Structure 1
Amino acid sequence: MIYTCLTTYMLSTVVLSSCQRNDAILRNDFDGPYADGSYKWAIQTEGGIFHEQRGSVKANPEHSLLVEGQYQYTAPDGQVINLLYKADETGFHPVGDHLPTPPPIPPLIQRALDYLASLPPKDYN
């Protein structure tokens, strides 16, 4: 797990340095990893890139890692991109206004799905 935390930190630093070669790093904090597996870090450049993350080990049978964070930067078109994320044993879960969303389910399809969900389960044995 220490390897994963440090790899994530170093990867972020490399990405920042390759994307913004002339921007000074204003903030570069790293705490941990601690004995309980928790850590947190944050980095910020004068060019407006900000990324912070914290992680901990969940007390479940798998002792899975829970990671939460956010990053922000300005896209080439001038749009400020702000993404919040959570990653756990179920996958990566991003939230951001810039992310595409699926179209709504057409009413007839939704009615069919609701009907199928209302049927009793079949025993195929």
Structure 2
Amino acid sequence: MFSKTIIFSALVALVVSTSPSANPTPQVPVVSQDFDLAPDGSYKFNFESADGIKQEQHGAPKVVDKDVVVEVVAGSASYTDLEGGKHEISYVADENGYQPIGADIPVAPKIPPMIARALQYIADHPHPEEKQ
């Protein structure tokens, strides 16, 4: 009898813990959306949601070499975080790779002056080749 009570309690706890949330995350409607595709392979699209998320992008094929064609893509995306801060990133992707630009992209710290001097000293005084 005791084991049946334990099993029943475990089943009740499982059902209660998997019940739908009282406050499900609301779906955010799309305010505007556009997509154009041209016969030459170029395209452009953009969308904006009701919570302020925006994205736009355009791309077109580019002949880099005689037999090499790459897609050149450029665009941007932006959103507002829960604290009200605006975040935006712009980017280009082409034969040189993905190149993002934005204030939220981390950058390497500046090289300390002592390290910079040491690196310059090493560059100015190369190690002589050892003779065999």
- Do both share a fold (TM > 0.5)? yes
The number of residues matched between the two structures is: 100
SS at match of 1:29: strand
Question: Of Structure 1 and Structure 2, which has the larger fraction of its residues in strand?
Answer: 2
The alignment's TM-score, normalised by the length of structure 2, stands at: 0.64
Q: Aligned equivalents of 1:114 and 1:63: distance in 2?
A: 41
1:33-112 alignment to 2 at 5 Å?
34-61=38-65, 62-111=68-117
Sort the Cα spacing of 1:58 and 1:113 in 2 relative to 1 into closer, same or farther, 3 A. farther
Give 1:39 shift. Answer: 0.3
Q: Aligned equivalents of 1:96 and 1:27: distance in 2?
A: 24
Greater Rg over alpha carbons, structure: 2
Give 1:110 shift. Answer: 3.5
Report Cα offsets for 1:55-108 as digits up to 9, x if no partner: 011121221111100011112333111111111122211111122111112234
Give the aligned residue type for 2:76.
Answer: Q
Gaps of 5+ in 1: 1-19, 120-125
Q: Aligned equivalents of 1:108 and 1:75: distance in 2?
A: 39
State the superposition RMSD in angstroms.
2.6
Q: Aligned equivalents of 2:39 and 2:119: distance in 1?
A: 48
SS at match of 1:64: strand
